């Protein structure tokens, strides 16, 4: 769809450039150089280095030996933990977020409620990180508000303070689920609300005229139309949780999920430089992200059909 727009604009630029000599044309091209150089230096090169460094050993020779990391039970366990935390928080976050989107239907898009929900969602979804970790230390950490409250109620050995015989819940991998939901639900609101906004009132009226009930409206019209957008957002949430680092890093000092394992690999080396096992893990993450994003853009294309 975007291509046709671009093509229809092409003649317009052709006319504006009619008087431009070939030499002027090259000068205009030069305008793209600074940004291109920046992107190559700070995006392309780091990305290639990150994905490629796993295939080289300390001396710089090509090797596949680092791939053995994928057979390491600890690393496999970390991948598995990353995946289940991402899946659980994505599903719960998507359902709760969709419920909030539903509740926001019919409110004025320019109204104060929507602006406030939008900004709060952006803050939590995109800039929370370390600060979200602190919020939960103050809530369900050893001295947290809720933990203390449970203790004062007589539950000295409660869920938050003693989880699975391993100390406070918050400092273990399953404990990440709670803070993660605080950026997953807002992200769902940000990504799914535009899709719900695309539901036309005329479809509801058509349904009513044809004798449909609100139940048939949801099962036969709204849900099938929203399905691609919903599953697309679900994938985005999974990817978001899977790649998130700051919150976990501020809570857990060891490994446990893949981003934390990469930290262990990068910091355990005495010399700061290209860490090769970290490179292999980074490659593993990129492969999973590429699969997720391909699925996301396919679903997004289907969803956008109903949003104009």
User: Is 70 an interacting residue with respect to other proteins (CB under 8 A)?
Assistant: no
Kindly indicate which of the ranges 59-67, 87-95, 114-122, 298-306 contains the residues binding other proteins, using the contact rule CB under 8 A.
Answer: 114-122
Task: Tell me 189's DSSP state.
Answer: H
Give the shortest CB-89-to-other proteins separation in angstroms.
15
User: Is 270 an interacting residue with respect to other proteins (CB under 8 A)?
Assistant: no
User: Is 278 an interacting residue with respect to other proteins (CB under 8 A)?
Assistant: yes
**236/97 Cα distance (integer angstroms):** 13
| Residues 76-105, interacting with other proteins (CB under 8 A) | 96, 99-100, 102-105
Among 83, 92, 266, 295, binds other proteins (CB under 8 A): 266
Among 91, 159, 250, 295, binds other proteins (CB under 8 A): 250
- Identify the sign of the CA torsion 158, 163, 169, 171: positive
User: Is 1 an interacting residue with respect to other proteins (CB under 8 A)?
Assistant: no
- Identify the sign of the CA torsion 105, 111, 113, 115: positive
Taking the least distance from each CB to other proteins, the nearer of 129 and 174 is: 129
Give the shortest CB-165-to-other proteins separation in angstroms.
25
Tally of CB atoms within 10 A around 285: 19
Q: Tokens 């020779």 belong to which residue? A: 61
User: Is 184 an interacting residue with respect to other proteins (CB under 8 A)?
Assistant: no
User: Is 263 an interacting residue with respect to other proteins (CB under 8 A)?
Assistant: yes
Contact 51, 274 (CB under 8 A): no
User: Is 160 an interacting residue with respect to other proteins (CB under 8 A)?
Assistant: no
User: Is 185 an interacting residue with respect to other proteins (CB under 8 A)?
Assistant: yes
Could you tell me if residue 61 is left (phi over 0), alpha (psi between -120 and 50 degrees) or otherwise beta? beta
Q: What is the CA radius of gyration of the chain?
A: 25
DSSP 3-state of 269:
coil
| Residues 211-240, interacting with other proteins (CB under 8 A) | 214, 217, 222, 239
The length of the chain is 308
Kindly indicate which of the ranges 62-70, 145-153, 160-168, 299-307 contains the residues binding other proteins, using the contact rule CB under 8 A.
Answer: 145-153
Residues that bind other proteins (rule: CB under 8 A) add up to a total of 105
- CA nearest 265: which of 251, 280, 252, 283? 280
Taking the least distance from each CB to other proteins, the nearer of 77 and 250 is: 250
Give the shortest CB-79-to-other proteins separation in angstroms.
14
Task: Tell me 156's DSSP state.
Answer: T
**43/308 Cα distance (integer angstroms):** 33
Give the shortest CB-155-to-other proteins separation in angstroms.
14
Give the shortest CB-233-to-other proteins separation in angstroms.
14
Could you tell me if residue 255 is left (phi over 0), alpha (psi between -120 and 50 degrees) or otherwise beta? beta
Give the shortest CB-111-to-other proteins separation in angstroms.
9
Taking the least distance from each CB to other proteins, the nearer of 176 and 282 is: 282
Tally of CB atoms within 10 A around 222: 17
Taking the least distance from each CB to other proteins, the nearer of 88 and 235 is: 235
């Amino acid at each position: 769809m975007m291509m046709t727009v671009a093509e229809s604009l092409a003649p317009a630029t052709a006319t504006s450039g009619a008087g431009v000599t070939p030499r002027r044309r090259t000068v205009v091209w030069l305008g793209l150089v600074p940004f291109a150089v920046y992107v190559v230096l700070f995006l392309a090169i780091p990305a290639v280095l990150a994905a490629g460094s796993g295939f080289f050993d300390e001396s710089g020779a090509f090797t596949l030996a680092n791939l053995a990391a994928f057979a390491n039970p600890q690393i496999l366990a970390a991948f598995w933990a990353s995946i289940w935390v991402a899946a659980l928080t994505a599903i719960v976050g998507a359902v709760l977020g969709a419920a909030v989107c539903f509740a926001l239907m019919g409110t004025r898009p320019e109204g104060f409620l929507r602006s406030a929900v939008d900004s709060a969602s952006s803050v939590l979804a995109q800039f929370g990180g370390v600060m979200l970790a602190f919020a939960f230390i103050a809530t369900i950490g050893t001295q947290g508000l809720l933990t203390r409250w449970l203790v004062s109620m007589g539950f000295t050995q409660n869920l938050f303070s003693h989880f699975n015989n391993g100390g406070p819940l918050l400092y273990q991998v399953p404990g990440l689920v709670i803070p993660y939901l605080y950026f997953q639900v807002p992200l769902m609101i940000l990504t799914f609300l535009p899709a719900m906004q695309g539901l036309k009132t005329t479809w509801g009226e058509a349904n009513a005229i044809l004798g449909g009930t609100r139940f048939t409206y949801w099962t036969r019209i709204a849900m099938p139309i929203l399905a691609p957008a919903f599953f697309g957002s679900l994938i985005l949430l999974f990817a978001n949780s899977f790649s998130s680092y700051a919150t976990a890093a501020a809570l857990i000092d060891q490994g446990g999920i893949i981003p934390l394992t990469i930290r262990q690999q990068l910091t355990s080396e005495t010399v700061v430089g290209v860490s090769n096992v970290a490179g292999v893990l980074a490659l593993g993450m990129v492969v999973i992200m590429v699969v997720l994003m391909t699925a996301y853009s396919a679903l997004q294309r289907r969803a956008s059909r109903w949003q104009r």
